[in-house]
């Protein structure tokens, strides 16, 4: 029974996350996922939009996932691998090489990231929409004010 382990924030859950979990799952019979806690995200410099409980529940609902636990720090991977008897640690290619030191206790495997999708890009899209909405509202207010002024109502 091959056990696979992976970690992530999984904020604003998207297809890149799904594909990573599906490919990780295909490497064994069991897949466990360490989901970054809100506190650990802050340490990683990532302010997740969705709180840990919901991010963990979403990942746990993926049919390929057999178990979820909190990732609280950078140093718990070795004890997680031993506790879960993980045979393979899988991470996306943006982490290439970062966890090779764990090769002494399990296979470390990096999978290509899914192109053209990221939580950061999703956040930027929303920020852009918000900015456009603010500009539009400012223009409407300016037009209304000019109309009131022209009619000596202001």
Q: Which residues are catalytic?
A: 44, 46
CB 48 to ligand C2G: min, Å: 9
CA distance 81 to 75: 11
Task: Give 2 or 47: the residue with its C-beta nearer to ligand C2G.
Answer: 47
What does 20-41 look like in DSSP terms, one character per residue? HHHHHHTTSSEEEEEEEPHHHH
**Cβ-based nearer residue to ligand C2G, 71 or 87:** 71
Query: Which residue is closest to ligand C2G by CB?
Result: 92
* 43/30 Cα distance (integer angstroms): 29
In whole angstroms, give the CA distance from residue 62 to residue 7: 14
Q: List the structure tokens of 124.
A: 């930027």
Site residues, ligand C2G (CB under 6 A): 7-10, 16-17, 20, 36, 46, 71, 91-92, 94-95, 113-114, 117-119
**Closer of 3 and 24 to ligand C2G (Cβ):** 24
Q: How far is the CB of 86 from ligand C2G (least distance, A)?
A: 14
Q: How far is the CB of 6 from ligand C2G (least distance, A)?
A: 6
Element (H or E) spanning 16, and its range?
Answer: helix 15-25
């Amino acid at each position: 029974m091959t056990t696979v382990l992976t970690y992530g924030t999984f904020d604003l859950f998207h297809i890149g996350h799904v594909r990573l979990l599906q490919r990780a799952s295909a490497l064994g019979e069991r897949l466990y996922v360490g989901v970054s806690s809100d506190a650990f995200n802050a340490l990683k410099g990532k302010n997740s939009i969705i709180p840990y409980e919901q991010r963990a529940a979403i990942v746990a609902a993926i049919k390929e996932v057999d178990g979820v636990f909190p990732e609280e720090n950078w140093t718990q991977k070795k004890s997680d691998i031993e506790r879960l008897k993980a045979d393979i640690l899988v991470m996306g290619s943006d982490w290439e090489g970062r966890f090779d030191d764990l090769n002494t206790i399990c296979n470390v495997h990096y999978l290509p990231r899914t192109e053209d999708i990221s939580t950061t890009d999703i956040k930027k899209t929303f920020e852009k929409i918000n900015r456009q909405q603010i500009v539009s509202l400012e223009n409407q207010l300016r037009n209304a004010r000019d109309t009131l002024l022209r009619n000596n109502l202001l």
